[in-house]
Amino acid sequence: MCKNKPSRANSDTGVEKYRETRQNGVCIIRGNHFYFPYSFHSSIFAFLKFALQMVDVLLGLQWGDEGKGKIVDYFAPQYKVIARFQGGPNAGHTLYVKDKKIVLHQIPSGIFHEDILNLIGSGVVLDPVILKKECEAVAAFGVPYAKNLYISERTNLILPTHRALDKASEALKGNDKIGSTLKGIGPAYMDKTGRNALRVGDILDKNFTSQYIKLRLKHQKLLDSMHFQEDISAWEDEFFEGIEFMRQFKIINGEYFINEKIGEGKKVLAEGAQGSMLDVDFGTFPFVTSSNTISAGVCTGLGVAPQKIKEVIGVTKAYCTRVGGGPFPTELYDETGEELRKIGNEFGATTGRPRRCGWIDLVALKYACMINGVTRLVMTKADVLDAFQELKVCEHYRIDGKKLQQVPYQMTKLTIEPIYTSFKGWNTDISEIKSYDAVPEAMKNYIHYINQFLGAEIKYISNGPGREQIIPIN
């Protein structure tokens, strides 16, 4: 019972409010009536305001190519801002707009929604040539791309000599090639960490050309030391055309822009590129990309604080693929692997290279969920498994005779045998299914097992390439 009797205050909401003479504390009196100090109400309003000021993250959990573009496009209407936070034109996010296919490499996947702002963040490395081509492709759909596309002035540029350095570096590796897309991504990030880079904000400087020549000469010395020659004159012509093209865009202070939108209560979706197992720190090093692909990269790639991150939506295929070199424990070298590739049309959106295919790797997937803090899962290309009588999931690695459920430090130096659990296939065309109630029981068993193993739940199933081919799981 409260010793200090509260005094009555006016109420115009139908809820009686009392001024509590004692600081902190809640007084419960008169049956079911609860009376709170005014500071408590202020805290509630502050909490609700904070809850609206959050960023959701959508990223891939495997080695890229999980189908993130379509999923971002699906969720896009729930957001006011979509922002790319890392990577470069080595990404390939495939969308189907008006039944026509388009692949976005650098532009955020919200560009086809007229009321959504799209930001290319500071963590991205940007190729002006590819950006120009992308914009022309988007314009063919009748979209005024310049209206809602913003570019952070801190975004680093990919130069023609970066592409040459990429080719030279890969050539020197011989049989140890990592499978680079040769887009200049790695050398561009090296210039960033080496504090040599040119950034988007620099193109507004009248001395930009002289800055470019100075960096180009540095690069040429490196190429000469590697005894590598590449005629970049045509690349340079395109580059400067791209630079001139970029000057029409809203080049802004990205970190202030994104935080202002968050402060206004606008929902933001951070769009990742590549996949978590390609993260430069936590992926299958050295067969990785050059940026932080995991959720932590949102903070450094956009300039937002960690406490602003709310939902982390992880995207995984119903099976597994990888393009380029590097470890892949569940890779299939038989007819099953070839059938997965054929049915799933598994060829790189950026390079066109055939993807390596295999069963889903739950050891790697659980690791990716852990380091990202995944709160929801989306399973894509589930329809590819329609034709298989038997499905398998890898739930252990056998290394040196021991069963493990951890991703080892250096996969390339180990012989890893995947240990599988088998499931009966559903052998049903699921491409027209709209409700989870209509999903075959065998498929529900497959999904339930994965949920239990990962400790995170699949909330959406993609059952075809179309925008509308998504099955929500309530």
Residues with active-site annotation: 65, 93
Instruction: Write out the two tokens for 356.
Output: 């390596």
Task: Write the CB contacts of 314 (distance below 8 Å, at least 6 apart in sequence).
Answer: 59, 60, 61, 276, 368, 369, 372, 374, 376, 377, 378, 456
Enumerate residues 6+ apart whose C-beta is below 8 A from 224: none
> Distance between CA atoms of 171 and 179, rounded to whole angstroms?
11
Q: Which tokens is 362 given? A: 């739950």
User: Omega of the bond prior to 286 within 30 degrees of 0, cis?
Assistant: yes
User: What Cα–Cα distance (Å) separates residue 12 from each residue in 42, 46, 255, 363?
Assistant: 17, 21, 42, 57
- In whole angstroms, what is the distance from residue 141 CA to residue 95 CA? 12
Residue 15's nearest CA partner among 33, 1, 2, 29 is: 33
* 356 φ/ψ angles, rounded to the nearest 5 degrees: -75, 140
Q: What is the DSSP letter of 331?
A: B
- The amino acid at residue 170 is E
Residue type, 217: L
Residue 276 CB neighbours (<10 A): 31
The half-sphere exposure of 216 on its side-chain side, counting CA atoms within 13 A, is 16
In angstroms, what is the C-alpha Rg of the chain?
26
Phi first, then psi: give them for residue 51, nearest 5 degrees: -65, -30
Q: How far, in Å, are 81, 121, 151, 158, 160 from residue 201 at the CA level?
A: 21, 12, 9, 13, 18
Cβ(250)–Cβ(151) below 8 Å:
yes
d(CA 64, CA 368): 12
Secondary structure tally for the chain: helices H, strands E: 12, 24
Hey, what amino acid is at 155?
A: T
> Helices 362-372 and 441-454 sit at what angle, rounded to 10 degrees?
50
